[in-house]
């Protein structure tokens, strides 16, 4: 769907759950005319504790579902899936793919010439993706990455930053990072911006917090401008989840910063279908 030189095909975004809505929030702020189709694979969250092979399979299935809507670009709004599968997706998908790791790493490098810390899921840290992206640009840069496996389920439960459980878990996870004294800390999971105030308080005012969600949205906008694919539509948002749609909608405002509207459920068994869509799966019929 194009008119007046605009490309109003949707942007496809997927994540293991609700966290990718932080990327959607930043995208809608920067590009309000873009239509977005979002898939949150909440039935299989968290990806961060799964094997590499499993995460790659999930990423293939998520991307195949989004291809049914003829997207102009797909955003892998999950750090774990980005680390495990973005190169594979970029090689096999018929559209451009934007991950969250490279934009986050670039933003951290631009923020400081000093030490950089990264907090992320177990799989993301174990992959070494952030460490490689940072040291590839600056081999002498000191980098410390720390896994925070409980933060995703805590955030998905709807707990806020003032919850004693949240503060206790963060204090434990950030102890070594506080000793490391980074000048910038990458929030290497799209769920983590919701805990930014508490993280910032524990790390201190001299540490710049880098949101991979904001950096990714900026990277997407640059890509669309460069390729002449900017949209000027209504800015519609269509959300799908593999779990409880009502719960997704209730928590979606917290992550996305707005009412996410009607949320549709898609079964994990349906994600295993071939990428070729049934007639009723087009964007026009699904919106």
Domain-ending residue, one of 162, 180, 214: 214
* DSSP summary character for residue 68: T
Domain-ending residue, one of 153, 185, 214: 214
Task: Report the alpha-carbon distance of residue 189 to residue 200 in Å, rounded.
Answer: 15
Same domain, 145 and 177: yes
Same domain, 223 and 180: no
Domain count along the chain: 2
Same domain, 117 and 153: yes
Same domain, 20 and 34: yes
pLDDT score, position 40: 96
At 37, phi and psi to the nearest 5? -110, 125
Catalytic residue among 189, 221, 239, 258: 189
| Paired tokens of 264 | 């549709």
Same domain, 135 and 266: no
| Paired tokens of 230 | 């900017």
Q: Which residues 6+ apart lie within 8 Å of 184 measured at CB?
A: 108, 111, 112, 114, 115, 116, 117, 207, 208, 209, 210
Q: What is the pTM of this model?
A: 0.88
CA distances from 17 to 20, 154, 217, 227, 272 (A): 7, 12, 18, 29, 18
Burial class from Cβ neighbours inside 10 Å (0-12, 13-18, 19+) for residue 162 reads exposed
User: Which CATH number goes with the domain that contains 244?
Assistant: 3.40.50.1860
Same domain, 162 and 258: no
Parent domain of 19: 2-99+215-286
CA distances from 191 to 87, 109, 153, 260 (A): 22, 21, 9, 17
| Residue 221 among the catalytic residues | no
For residue 46, is the peptide bond before it cis, meaning its omega torsion is within 30 degrees of 0?
yes
Strands 11-15 and 36-40: parallel
Same domain, 74 and 126: no
Catalytic residue among 78, 221, 239, 258: 78
Residue pLDDT, tens place only, 147-188: 999 998 888 888 888 899 999 999 999 999 999 999 999 999
In this prediction, the residues of the chain whose per-residue pLDDT falls under 50 are 1-3, 275-287
Same domain, 114 and 153: yes
Name the 3-class secondary structure at 273. coil
Same domain, 142 and 62: no
Same domain, 126 and 205: yes
Same domain, 127 and 182: yes
* DSSP summary character for residue 277: P
Q: Alpha-carbon torsion 211, 216, 219, 221, what sign?
A: negative
pLDDT score, position 274: 57
Same domain, 119 and 203: yes
- For 179-235, give the DSSP string: HH--SEEEE-STTGGGGHHHHHHHH-TTSEEEEHHHHHHHHHHHHHHHHT----S--
């Amino acid at each position: 769907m194009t008119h007046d030189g605009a490309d109003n095909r949707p942007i496809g975004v997927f994540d293991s759950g609700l966290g990718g809505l932080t990327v959607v929030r930043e995208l809608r702020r920067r590009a309000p005319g873009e239509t977005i189709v979002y898939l949150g694979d909440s039935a299989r969250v968290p990806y961060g504790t799964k094997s590499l092979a499993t995460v790659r399979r999930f990423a293939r299935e998520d991307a195949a579902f989004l291809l049914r809507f003829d997207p102009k670009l797909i955003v892998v709004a999950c750090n774990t899936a980005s680390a495990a599968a973005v190169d594979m997706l970029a090689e096999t998908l018929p559209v451009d793919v934007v991950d969250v790791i490279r934009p986050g790493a670039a933003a951290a490098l631009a923020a400081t010439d000093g030490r950089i810390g990264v907090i992320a899921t177990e799989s993301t840290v174990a992959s070494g993706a952030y460490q490689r992206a940072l040291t590839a640009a600056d081999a002498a840069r000191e980098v410390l990455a720390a896994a925070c496996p409980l933060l995703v389920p805590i955030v998905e439960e709807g707990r806020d930053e003032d919850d004693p459980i949240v503060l206790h878990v963060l204090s434990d996870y950030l102890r070594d990072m506080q000793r490391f004294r980074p000048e910038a800390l990458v929030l290497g999971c799209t769920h983590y911006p919701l805990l930014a105030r508490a993280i910032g308080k524990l790390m201190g005012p001299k540490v710049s917090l880098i949101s991979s969600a904001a950096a990714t949205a900026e990277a997407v906008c640059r890509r669309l401008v460069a390729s002449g694919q900017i949209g000027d539509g209504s800015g519609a948002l269509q959300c799908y989840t593999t779990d409880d749609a009502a719960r997704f909608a209730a928590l979606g405002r917290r992550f996305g910063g707005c009412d996410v509207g009607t949320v549709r459920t898609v079964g994990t068994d349906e994600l295993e279908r071939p990428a070729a869509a049934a007639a009723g799966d087009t964007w026009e019929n699904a919106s």
